[in-house]
Structure 1
Amino acid sequence: MRFAVSRWTRTVVLLALVASVAGCGLPRSGPNKRELYSSSVQQEGNAFVVTVDNHVARAASAVPPLGFTNGFLGAGVIGSDEIRPGDVLGLTIWENVDNGLLAGPGMNSTALQEVQVDGEGYIFVPYAGRIRAAGNTPEALRRIITNKLDAQTPDPQVSVNRIAGDGATVSVMGGVGGQGVYPIERPTRTLSAMIARAGGVVIEPEIAQVVVTRGSHSGRIWLKDLYSNPSLDVALRPGDVILVEKDQRFFTAIGATGAQNRVLFETQTLSAIEAIAQVGGLSTNLADPTGVFVLRNETPEIANEILGRTDLVTTQRIAYVLDLTEPNGIFNARDFMIRDEDTVYVTEAPYVQWQKTLAAISGAATSANSLSNAANN
C-alpha cells in the first residue's frame, strides 16, 4: 500500500511540474522564424517579410552618398589678399614736404601700425577720414587712401600691408593633430590644405568623416573621398567650422549570435556577412542559419521597388530574411549592405526548443523523484 501511494505521489508531482513548465514557457532569445513570418503584413501583421534574392540585395543596399551641396561646390577660392572685417593692417604714409600733415618734425613718413578693420569693414586714417577697407585688396586700398590725401598734401605715397588678424579664419576641431583657429592664407584656401595645416587626421582614415559648417548649412563627406575626388576639396570661407570625426553609424546584433551588442561600423560599407562576422558569427549551438533577419525602417521609394508596388508613401517596416544554408544565400548576404540603425536578428534553431523542453521535463522528473523520496522518508 505504501508503494502504491509513493508511486501515485511521484506521478502527480511530475505532472504538476511539467504543466508548470509548459504554462510558464521556456527561456529564449526572441521570436522564432515561424512567429516572425506570422506577424508579417501578409498575415495581417505590421511588417513586411521579404526574402533576400539578387534583386532585393541590390535594391535594399542603396545608401545615399555623403557629399556637399552646390553652395559648397560652387564657391570659388577667395583671394588671399582680400581685406575682411577683423583684419589688421599696417599703413605707412610718405609726404613730399618738410612739414607734412602727419609726419613729425624732421621726418617725411608716418607709420600707422595695427590698424584694425572694424566689424563694418572700415578703418580710420587721419585727414583721409573713415574709409571702407573690406572687400578691397591692399593695392586698391592704397590707391583710395592716396586719392583722399592728395588734395591735402602734395604727392603722398602710401604703403598698405596685411598683418596677422582674425578676419579670415576657420575653426578646425575633432580628430586632427592640432585643433584651433587658423587663418585662410594662400596655401590653405581649400579644405584638404587646411586639414593638413591643422596637423592632419589622427583617427582611422577608413572611418573618418569631415563635416564643414558654413552658417546654417553643413556638408559631410568621407575623408578618403576628399583625397580621391578633387571636386570635393571645396574652397573655404571665413567663419567655416571643420569637424573631423569617426563614423557614428551603428547596427544592433541580437539573438543567436556570438555577441549581442550595439556595434559601430568599422568600414564605409558593411555587408550582412561582415556584420555577422564582426559580432563573432552565428552561435553554432543555437542559431538557425535559415532565419537570419535584418530589421529596417525602409524608405517608401525602396519599399515600392522591392515589393513591386507604387502606393507606399511612408516609411515601412521590413524584415529581410537571409538563408545561409544555400550558396546563393551566402552570396546574397555578401551583397546585402547593412545600413545605419539596422537590427541583425538571428533566430534559434527549432531543435533548441526541443532540447530545452526535454531538459525541463528531465529536471521536473528529477525534482519529482526527490520530492517523492522525501515524502517516503
Structure 2
Amino acid sequence: MRLLTVSVLLATTALAGCAATSASGPASSKIEAQAALKIEPVKTNGGKTAGLDYALIDINSAVLNYLGDTTSTTIAGSFGGGKGGIPSLPLGVGDVIQVSVFESQAGGLFIPADAGSRPGNYITLPQQSIDREGNITVPYAGKIRASGRFIDEVQKEIEERLANRAIEPQIMISRLTIRSAQVAVLGDVNNAAKIQISEGGSRILDVISEAGGLSAPNVESYVTLTRRGRSARISYNHLIATPAENIYVAPNDTIIVERERRTYMAFGASGANGRFEFEDADLKLADALGKAGGLLDSRADPAQVYIYRTVSRELLVKLGANVSKFQGEAVPVVFRANLRDPSTFFVASKFPMQHGDIIYVTNSTATELYKFLDLVGSVPSTAADVSANARSTRLNIKNF
C-alpha cells in the first residue's frame, strides 16, 4: 500500500513539474521520436557539419575598390549600337506606302500628251500596304518584292521594269505608316504598347517615354532588352547615367520595365529586426544600420557586425583570395565590420549595400555572461522547490 502511495505522489509531482514548464507545441524530442524518417547533416572527417562554405572578409578601404560597381550586365556590350549611326529600316509587311511615277515629258505611259496644265509630269498611285507575301503592285510593272528591302532598292527595280514603256521613268516611294518596325514596351510603364520606330532612329529611352514613362520609382526599376532570343538587363538609373547604354532599338525588340523592390534584412543586436527597403538610390552600410535602429548599447558587440552576401568568384580573385575551395561562379561571403575602430565608420559610409543583403549584429561577450548569470540565479529557487516537494512527500508517507 505504501508503494502505491509513493507512486501516486511521484506521478503527481512529475505532472506538476510539467505544468510549470508547459509549452505551446510538442517538444523537439517528441518530434524526433515520432518521425518516420530522419535525415541528419553529414559530418566531415573533422567532425564539421557539411554545409555551405563561405569566405570571411574584413571591410577596409582596399575592399571598397572592388565593390563600387555592382552592374553585372550591359546592353551596349550585349547588342552594340551605342555609338553607331541611325539604323536603316527596311520595308516590311503591313507598312503603308505611296508610289509616285515621274516621266521626263508628257505623252508617255502615265502622262498623256494632252495633259494640259498640271504641276509636273508625274502621277501618284493610291496608297497601298505591303501584303502578307511582302509584295506591292505597280501598274505595268506587276508585283514587286518589297518586304525586307530598302526603299531605294525597290525604286530601282520598278524603274527597270518600266524603262521600256515610260519616258525616262523616275520612281519615288514614300513610307506613310510603319507597322513592321515596332517595339513592344511592357511592364511597369504607364501605357504599355507597341511603339513605332522613327525613321530618324529611336533609342531605348525614347520608346519608354512614348509608352508614358515609368510607373515605378527610378531607383527600383530595371530595363530588359530582348532581341532575337538574347537579353540584357540593367538598372534604369544606370541607363540614364550612361548614354552609351541608351542604344537604338531594332524592329521586333521587346523592352520590359520591371520594378524590383530592393530590400535588406537586419537581425541580432540591432535596434530593429526585420526587412527594410532601400528607398535611396545608393544605400550605404552606415545608412542601412541607421534605418535598422543602429546598435543596441546594452547588447551589441560593435566589433562584430556582419553582412551576408553572395558575390562573384571574380571579386575574390581580384582580392587575391584562394578560391580553389569554392565551386561555381557565385561564392557566399560574410563581410565583417569592426565598428570599434573609428576609421571603419568612414568605410561603412562608403560600403554599398545590395539587394538581399543580411546584416547580423552579434551580442557582446558581457551580454552572454549576463544571460548565464541569470540562469545560475534561477537555480536556487528551483532547487528549493524540489527540496520542499521532497519534504512534503516524506511527511505524507509518514502520516499514511
Task: Give the TM-score normalised by structure 2.
Answer: 0.67
Distance, in Å, in 2 between the alignment partners of 1:328 and 1:363 is 42
Distance, in Å, in 2 between the alignment partners of 1:58 and 1:99 is 75
CA-to-partner distance for each residue in 1:153-182, whole Å, 9 max, x for gaps?
667675533232420000112232321001
Distance, in Å, in 2 between the alignment partners of 1:83 and 1:360 is 83
Q: Per-residue deviation at 1:44?
A: 7.7
Q: Per-residue deviation at 1:184?
A: 0.4
| Residue in structure 1 matched with residue 307 of structure 2 by the alignment | 294
- Residue of structure 2 aligned with 1:256, choices 269, 290, 294: 269
| Residue in structure 2 matched with residue 78 of structure 1 by the alignment | 87
Which range is displaced more, 191-200 or 348-357? Answer: 348-357
| Residue in structure 1 matched with residue 115 of structure 2 by the alignment | none
The answer (yes or no) to whether the contact 2:80–2:247 under 8 Å persists in 1 is yes
Distance, in Å, in 2 between the alignment partners of 1:370 and 1:44 is 41
1:118 aligns with 2:132: yes
| Residue in structure 1 matched with residue 65 of structure 2 by the alignment | 58
Q: What one-letter code is carried by the residue in structure 1 that aligns with 2:130?
A: Q
| Residue in structure 2 matched with residue 34 of structure 1 by the alignment | none
Alignment of 1:330-345 (within 5 A): 330-345=345-360
Match of 1:335, SS state, is coil
Q: Which has the higher contact order (CA 8 A, sep 6+)?
A: 1
1:228 aligns with 2:241: yes
Q: Per-residue deviation at 1:230?
A: 2.6
The answer (yes or no) to whether the contact 1:207–1:267 under 8 Å persists in 2 is no
**CA separation of 1:374/1:218 partners in 2, compared to 1, >3 Å: closer, same or farther?**
same
**Superposition RMSD in Å:** 4.2
| Residue in structure 1 matched with residue 367 of structure 2 by the alignment | 352
CA-to-partner distance for each residue in 1:54-109, whole Å, 9 max, x for gaps?
323434555345422153336542236x4233322234668977998xxxxxxx96
Which range is displaced more, 231-240 or 282-291? Answer: 282-291
Distance, in Å, in 2 between the alignment partners of 1:266 and 1:127 is 67
**CA separation of 1:77/1:309 partners in 2, compared to 1, >3 Å: closer, same or farther?**
same
The answer (yes or no) to whether the contact 2:262–2:356 under 8 Å persists in 1 is yes
Match of 1:337, SS state, is coil
The answer (yes or no) to whether the contact 1:175–1:201 under 8 Å persists in 2 is yes
The answer (yes or no) to whether the contact 2:102–2:170 under 8 Å persists in 1 is yes
**CA separation of 1:77/1:85 partners in 2, compared to 1, >3 Å: closer, same or farther?**
farther
Distance, in Å, in 2 between the alignment partners of 1:114 and 1:357 is 88
Alignment of 1:153-192 (within 5 A): 160-186=173-199, 189-192=202-205
Match of 1:275, SS state, is helix
CA-to-partner distance for each residue in 1:302-322, whole Å, 9 max, x for gaps?
324445547567454432221
| Residue in structure 2 matched with residue 278 of structure 1 by the alignment | 291
Distance, in Å, in 2 between the alignment partners of 1:278 and 1:319 is 21
Q: Per-residue deviation at 1:330?
A: 1.6
Q: What one-letter code is carried by the residue in structure 2 that aligns with 1:122?
A: N
- Residue of structure 2 aligned with 1:49, choices 37, 49, 56: 56
Distance, in Å, in 2 between the alignment partners of 1:280 and 1:181 is 46
Q: What one-letter code is carried by the residue in structure 2 that aligns with 1:346?
A: V
Q: What one-letter code is carried by the residue in structure 1 that aligns with 2:87?
A: I
The answer (yes or no) to whether the contact 1:88–1:117 under 8 Å persists in 2 is no
Which range is displaced more, 141-150 or 174-183? Answer: 141-150
More helix by share: 1
Match of 2:216, SS state, is coil
- Residue of structure 2 aligned with 1:148, choices 150, 154, 161: 161
Structure 1 gap ranges (5+)? 1-12, 25-42, 101-107
**CA separation of 1:228/1:293 partners in 2, compared to 1, >3 Å: closer, same or farther?**
closer
**CA separation of 1:280/1:167 partners in 2, compared to 1, >3 Å: closer, same or farther?**
same
**CA separation of 1:286/1:188 partners in 2, compared to 1, >3 Å: closer, same or farther?**
farther
Q: What one-letter code is carried by the residue in structure 2 that aligns with 1:51?
A: D
CA-to-partner distance for each residue in 1:1-30, whole Å, 9 max, x for gaps?
xxxxxxxxxxxx9xx99xx9xxx9xxxxxx
Which range is displaced more, 194-203 or 305-314? Answer: 305-314
Distance, in Å, in 2 between the alignment partners of 1:78 and 1:307 is 44
Distance, in Å, in 2 between the alignment partners of 1:233 and 1:126 is 44
